[in-house]
Structure 1
């Protein structure tokens, strides 16, 4: 993982998902170099390209390591000659590169993640390429297009892009590369294929890629920098992040139609971080953000996105009397599945109320209400032990100077029984071909938890994921081989003070299909 990637993840940013066949963010890239494009399978070499100098390379076939090379000097690529392709060396290949130092580290931490997948068949038709959109699978009509990338494992081939239902066909030669870029201006369904020479047949087409069209770019996502809302002191800042699906020219933070002039910076061109001085805000919102995709000076045209979903803030200077928090039924013995009412009572009406729960660092704002009277009733439906914890409430005025109360006395909820079990979903059907990925999705019930994929019979988890802002996490079992066959379950857990561990999900069976059996 690169330093930039680690920093962005620490900040709460996530990188866009890669295509199943080709990951441009990988620290290792694999391609096939035929000695002759007239006979690509007669003498083939696989080249593993590293994103940084290394001494160690591994070539993996059908989920099994087949070559491990340790060199005397640091290099950025290594070639693995396969020679003539026969039934002995056909299959699905990936590579990875070693991290220095290789000693005193757990085995899996000594290597990068696996490269893209290269299929070697030795027969016609040629293996299908992959087609992906960059940066997004949509266009803004009629002004801007988008790029699509056709990726073939073989270098130097001629690639062709086709649009379903139209005669549109674009061709380009990849020269010394294994991919080609096309720009698309029309919405529709696209696929690509390739051939090794002018008289040769085209490969199987890629999977279909749908390009949509919008008159207005879709909205960005506006979220709290810490990934969850909190009741702040009025003298502090609140930090909001606006995230667009692609690189943009400009971001705006708005309250209604008014653009707010607040401090901000962009760590990447896809996002802006806004710093809101709570003492200078006219009111707590709601706030939205949008992005400027393109500015056409000659036409005096600006292409702004739709507004994000709104966010409202809550702060307090602690100058007003504290509210009183009560619970129905009693908080000492709550049965799982019950509905709990938390009643926050203030000395007057027309207030904004917030319910908060102690978290692993600060109290997180669970709900916010603006009732007409002097009481706010927060409802927790179908509670379980994951709702156990220490709760308090506070309120703030809805008009300047926006004074607020300190938190109420803490009220502890204790719900009996174990946490509800998660559900493990297989994102494939049937058997998993050897060398492909088995992608799971573990569905939990709360965000900000760790999720583990566990194979039956193993003591340690096979994979660990994290559900940041959602209640589910994707877990990828990469490049499966026969050794990955078995039943898998998932579970989730939270760190103190909300410490709990769920039971295991129902199992999902992974059956690996050996294409050569």
Structure 2
């Protein structure tokens, strides 16, 4: 085996088909080739460049397929000639590639073709993060639509600051950043040409320390465990190639660590002891640097040996079947003050920490507001002594709470005010009273979700990417949960998505009819249209 192959295997990579398949799913690059940069819109070709060689390329305009080609031999690029830009060819373009690895690629970034005298703005982003830290090469990446232009970087409030970078064979330029501030960039197609519209502003900060990572215990901020059980802390940094550190309170935690990816570290306690209880944080630093990042938000590890007497858990009001929408209190009573109380939900013998309190007296009150069928479960509580030897109680007798009725109906809100411009994204927010569910967005009359997402909070933004006229219509949302039992909510009230230039005529079967006709609904971007649609009026 070659040294390269051994190195890749060490990192869990390979040079085989699986790696190429993953690369094939990455978004391609789309840019404008102008025959004459002084006259950029006189004769235009759009070039779609794949991540790996492929025989299939597809071009979209304003969310609708414009052309799809299948070549005889694999290649990295394909050119789609537009010619002189007219009202028919102005719009927002994207492309995708490769339909032979089980799915097509993701869509490329948006490319705006205007034909206007004023050039469209570029995109500006900070790489790898928008702050300046010693040892980290922060750059601003300015990306335009044309190949072979000159990029200009400006700093707000400093008229003397101007960085210039030429990109004769590329569509982007990288500017090193050494000062904090608000930056924007533009480009010009030739020396005598006017600059494009400026990009959106990017703020680069100079914090006292790198931005903090995130820390979790099995995806949660608090967890309870018995002594001698294993426990894993997960620390995720916003940048790669860093050194991690886990801290228990103000002290360094001597816990074995492994880091399978450049941004993630796992700290594994193989056998938890009572002394391991408490609050933990993690931080990181760049290699060969002394400055540590800010600390993550703390997580709490609660350890109970169950040697102390069990507390008593009472329900107030004293009914085990509250009506939907009511609020109830679960009162956990212990034999003495100065203790830390934990309320847990028990589902299929799995205990999940809901809340942790340290009241001044012998009683902790945990409130459940606006209860619904999703709150039906067994509840129990424990207490632990925060002073050595850190003993903990046995769990209380469970309280079996039952709430009748269907799950609360969600609410769907559009995050726009006017008809959506073709080629942009449409975002709808689905709100519920229930956390830890899967939210789904569906077109009215269809059974398959247009998009979905998991959320630990009580709402989620559902995005219809790169909408075209075929997306116009009425949408609704619902949520599902599988633990502790399967549950599906009713649909929300519908919201109408209006796409500028499209007329919604209702539904025929499961596909909405529209004017003008698109080539294919293609709601899922990894479903290729089998045949082109007939022209309007046929």
Q: TM-score range by the shorter chain?
A: 0.7 to 0.9
Q: Which of 440, 443, 460 pairs up with 1:452?
A: 440
Structure 2 stretches of 5 or more lacking a match? 1-11, 13-24, 503-515, 517-538
- Give the whole-Å Cα distance in 2 for the aligned partners of 1:461 and 1:243: 31
Superposed CA offset, 1:393-437 (max 9, x none): 233343444443443343221223443343434344423211111
Q: CA RMSD in A?
A: 3.0
Superposed CA offset, 1:328-375 (max 9, x none): 223432023322121334455544332211347832111123345554
SS of the residue corresponding to residue 282 of structure 1 reads helix
TM-score, length-normalised on structure 1? 0.84
What is the correspondence of 1:436-475 to structure 2 with a 5 Å cutoff? 436-467=424-455, 469-475=456-462
Structure 2 match to 1:271: 264
Q: Which of 184, 200, 203 pairs up with 1:191?
A: 184
CA-CA distance at 1:304 after TM superposition? 1.8
Q: Which of 468, 475, 478 pairs up with 1:491?
A: 478
Q: Does 1:150 align with 2:142?
A: yes
Q: Does 1:376 align with 2:364?
A: yes
Change (3 A) 1:99 1:402: farther
Structure 2 match to 1:94: 94
- Give the whole-Å Cα distance in 1 for the aligned partners of 2:137 and 2:178: 4
- Give the whole-Å Cα distance in 2 for the aligned partners of 1:254 and 1:261: 8
CA-CA distance at 1:144 after TM superposition? 5.9
Task: Identify the range of structure 1 (240-249 vs 317-326) with the bigger mean alpha-carbon deviation.
Answer: 317-326
Q: Indicate conservation of the 8 Å contact 1:235/1:317, yes or no.
A: no
What is the correspondence of 1:11-30 to structure 2 with a 5 Å cutoff? 26-30=26-30
Superposed CA offset, 1:65-98 (max 9, x none): 1112223344333222223323332221111123
Q: Does 1:37 align with 2:51?
A: no
Q: Does 1:164 align with 2:151?
A: no
- Give the whole-Å Cα distance in 2 for the aligned partners of 1:366 and 1:155: 54
- Give the whole-Å Cα distance in 2 for the aligned partners of 1:33 and 1:227: 49
TM-score, length-normalised on structure 2? 0.81
Q: Does 1:326 align with 2:318?
A: no
CA-CA distance at 1:202 after TM superposition? 1.3
Q: Which of 109, 122, 128 pairs up with 1:116?
A: 109
- Give the whole-Å Cα distance in 1 for the aligned partners of 2:249 and 2:483: 39
- Give the whole-Å Cα distance in 2 for the aligned partners of 1:69 and 1:227: 47
- Give the whole-Å Cα distance in 1 for the aligned partners of 2:337 and 2:230: 27
SS of the residue corresponding to residue 193 of structure 1 reads strand
- Give the whole-Å Cα distance in 1 for the aligned partners of 2:182 and 2:166: 22
- Give the whole-Å Cα distance in 2 for the aligned partners of 1:237 and 1:284: 13
Q: Indicate conservation of the 8 Å contact 1:295/1:303, yes or no.
A: no
Structure 2 match to 1:365: 353
CA-CA distance at 1:189 after TM superposition? 2.0
Q: Does 1:284 align with 2:272?
A: no
- Give the whole-Å Cα distance in 1 for the aligned partners of 2:158 and 2:277: 52
Structure 1 stretches of 5 or more lacking a match? 1-7, 9-24, 103-109, 297-301
Change (3 A) 1:225 1:323: same
Q: Which of 246, 253, 257 pairs up with 1:253?
A: 246
Q: Indicate conservation of the 8 Å contact 1:153/1:178, yes or no.
A: yes
Task: Identify the range of structure 1 (120-129 vs 157-166) with the bigger mean alpha-carbon deviation.
Answer: 120-129
- Give the whole-Å Cα distance in 2 for the aligned partners of 1:230 and 1:215: 32
Q: Indicate conservation of the 8 Å contact 1:423/1:443, yes or no.
A: yes
SS of the residue corresponding to residue 483 of structure 1 reads helix
Superposed CA offset, 1:202-239 (max 9, x none): 11111222223322333222222344643222111221
Structure 1 match to 2:51: 51
